[in-house]
């Protein structure tokens, strides 16, 4: 009986932590981050502004291209930029890991 209680205790703690981290994630204002830090190059419509296109941004509405990139690829590029394209600034110092992860569904949504 006692071990069951302990397992139950650990499990409910886990659920609590999971729901807490969801709440924290929900507090990230991805629309504001996109408007302030991404739209300059990627555009409100995800297709890329003239500046962005000069910098060789990809068209986020292109589902075929999105299909070639994993979520981890996106997290990695947003965090570290692209070493082969110095126009793509790394955001690892400007955004937290959670914020960067929260931006992936925003990018995905343009192709849906
Ligand atoms: C200064 C212009 C600029 C800004 C601002 C910018 N990007 Fe980019 N982004 C680029 C360029 C250029 C590329 C293409 C890089 C390449 O050559 O793969 C790119 C590529 C990407 C990609 C595709 C990466 C991949 O792995 O293929 C994602 C996702 C992305 N940006 C997300 C963001 C997000 C989210 C923000 C805001 C936090 C942002 N970008 C802000 C210029 C910018």
Per-residue pLDDT tens for 70-87?
999 999 999 999 888 888
Residue 21 domain-assigned (yes or no): no
Q: How many domains does the chain have?
A: 1
Cα three-residue angle 16-22-25, rounded to 5 degrees = 145
22 lines ligand 1 (CB under 6 A): no
Render pLDDT for 10-33 as a digit per residue (tens, 0 to 9).
Answer: 566 655 555 555 555 568 999 999
C-alpha of residue 26 to centroid of ligand 1, in Å: 23
Which domain, by its residues, includes 86?
Answer: 30-109
What's the predicted TM-score (pTM) here? 0.82
82 lines ligand 1 (CB under 6 A): yes
Asked whether 51 and 41 are in contact (CB, 8 A), the reply is yes
Residue 67 domain-assigned (yes or no): yes
49: domain CATH number? 1.10.760.10
């Amino acid at each position: 009986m006692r071990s069951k209680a302990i397992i139950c205790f650990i499990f409910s703690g886990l659920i609590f932590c999971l729901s807490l981290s969801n709440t924290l994630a929900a507090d990230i204002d991805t629309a504001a981050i996109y408007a302030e830090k991404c739209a300059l190059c990627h555009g409100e419509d995800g297709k890329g502004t003239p500046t962005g296109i000069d910098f060789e941004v990809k068209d986020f509405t292109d589902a075929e291209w999105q299909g070639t990139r994993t979520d981890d690829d996106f997290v990695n590029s947003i965090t570290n930029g692209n070493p082969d394209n110095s126009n793509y600034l790394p955001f690892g110092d400007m955004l937290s890991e959670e914020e960067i992860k929260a931006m992936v569904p925003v990018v995905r949504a343009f192709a849906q």
